[in-house]
Amino acid sequence: MQNQDSIDPREIFTLPVETCREALELERHRIICLVGAGGKTSLMFAMARELADFGNHVITSTTTKIFKPSREETPFILLRKGAGNILKAIPDMVHQYGHFTLVERRLPGKKLKGVSPEIIDGLGALDEVEHIIVEADGAARLPLKAPDENEPVITSKTSLVVVVVGIDGIGVDLTKDYVFRPHIVSELTGLPMGEKVTIEAIAKLMIHPRGMAKGTPPHATIIPFLNKVDIPDGFKKGRALAGLILEKGHPRINRVVLGHAIREKPVVAVLSRKEDA
């Protein structure tokens, strides 16, 4: 039985878009945060590559931690610590590289510490930078997660939050071996610990006020990105999950993207509540 805010499945449309720029409406947004699990880092650099190829100046960063990216992912890594007035250095950097990654400092184990939300918001005020793409939480490389009380670290001027979910999280056991913070997932979805993760549970986690998009600014758009749909039955499962998310009628989720972030063309399909979106 549908609630009063739910959407008739017949009102869900497949859009003819093929790029991240179109699918995630990137040209409308300056500060973009990625949250969730199952491919955030790969998607962040895929988005940045596409925007830079189109001629935009792009900074990738994190407000938490990331593994050191390869040269294929980013042409340059700028450490804020020791760089002086970082906001004054940015214009020359983006004109030189087109896209680079900004972090605070190096950490043991090939990880990089992210910068503060205030630094990210400061970057958003620079005319020389079209897009700042930020990884705003961690998930220990698992396909599904729920945030704790201190996550995600989304900046106040973010206008787009992309919530990433790995389709390979459907059907796994709700345990710490497969899900980051499974006890919170259980609390928010009502799914008992140890049970198989269902499409319904992930859809609930996506739209719950304390779920994966928790802390999204009230003015920001939310777009789920269902990753790894190239696995066996992945597209079928992804389309079913996308439809269910849209049917629940979240006021700031009007489209869901299906894709595989590590491929040259990450976008496979886009489902929308608006036929001409």
Cα(183)–Cα(145) distance, integer angstroms = 10
**Is 12-272 CATH 3.40.50?**
yes
Biggest distance spanned by C-alpha atoms of the chain: 58
Q: Are 96 and 145 in contact (CB under 8 A)?
A: no
Cα(118)–Cα(205) distance, integer angstroms = 28
Give every CB contact of residue 118 below 8 A, 6+ residues apart in sequence: 155
213-236 per-position pLDDT tens digit = 999 999 999 999 999 999 999 999
Q: What's residue 84's pLDDT?
A: 60
pTM: 0.93
CA atoms within 13 A on the CB side of 141: 2
Q: What's residue 80's pLDDT?
A: 84
Structure tokens at 137: 């939480």
Structure tokens at 127: 């005319």
Tell me what the pLDDT averaged over the chain comes to: 92
Residue 88's pLDDT band (boundaries 50, 70, 90)? confident
87-91, 123-127, 172-176, 226-230: the lowest-pLDDT one:
87-91
* Size of the chain in residues: 277
107-136 per-position pLDDT tens digit = 988 899 999 999 999 999 899 999 999 999
Strand (E) positions, the chain?
Answer: 13-15, 31-36, 58-62, 65-67, 77-79, 99-103, 105-107, 111-113, 131-135, 144-145, 160-166, 179-180, 221-227, 255-259, 267-272
List Cβ<8 Å contacts ≥24 apart for 45-48.
Answer: 45/69, 45/73, 45/74, 46/20, 46/261, 46/262, 46/266, 47/20, 47/133, 48/74, 48/99, 48/131, 48/133
Peptide bond into 152 cis (omega under 30): yes
Strand partners, 258: 226, 269
Q: Are 72 and 101 in contact (CB under 8 A)?
A: no
**Domain assignments of the chain as residue spans, ordered by start:** 12-272
